[in-house]
Amino acid sequence: MLARSYAVLAGAALLLAPPHGTVRVERFFAPALGVEKHYVIYLPPSYGTAPARRYPVAYYLHGLTGNEADWVSLASIDVVADSLTAGGGAEMILVMPDGDDGWYTNWEEAPEPYAACLAGPGTRTTSRAISSATSIRATAHSPTAGIAASRA
């Protein structure tokens, strides 16, 4: 009897659980840098079931000595995004690029080439991103974001 009660509760929990987005690790070649860059991308829960839908894109930049996986591994940004969506918030694509330790700049030439690469990950993976004019340009927990956001 007790085991059956647990099974019923577990089944109810699955039915009530909010849908979850998908986290993927991807890479792309950045011609401006001449190297392959990695990034982590969060795709919202409806991404796989609504092929005609377009989404805004938010870029989350890691801080100095961090990496592209920090927002998921240290801040659980995927869980936060799922929670916000379940609470009625807008779904969006989250892109977390690898910024090395260079403040998202290419110091050998000018800051623009590296920051220009940031538009690549979210839009190269999917053509379903809303144009950059209406997307969120950058968000971060460090001063790095100000540099990248002003140049992106």
* Cβ contact 45:21 at 8 Å: yes
Sequence ranges of the domains in the chain: 20-151
Each residue's pLDDT tens digit, 83-123: 999 999 999 999 888 877 766 665 565 555 555 666 655 44
Q: What is the CA radius of gyration of the chain?
A: 18
pLDDT given for residue 40 in this prediction: 93
Q: What is the pLDDT of residue 91?
A: 95
Q: What class does CATH assign to 20-151?
A: alpha beta
6-22 tens-digit pLDDT: 655 555 555 567 789 99
- Structure confidence at residue 117 (pLDDT): 63
80: part of which helix (H) or strand (E)? helix 77-86
pLDDT per position as a tens digit, 52-87? 999 998 888 888 888 899 999 999 999 999 999 999
Which pLDDT value is given to residue 31?
A: 75
Confidence grade of residue 132 (pLDDT, cut at 50, 70, 90): low
State the pLDDT at residue 44: 96
pLDDT tens per residue across span 33-53: 778 888 999 999 999 999 899
User: CB count, 10 Å around CB of 56?
Assistant: 17
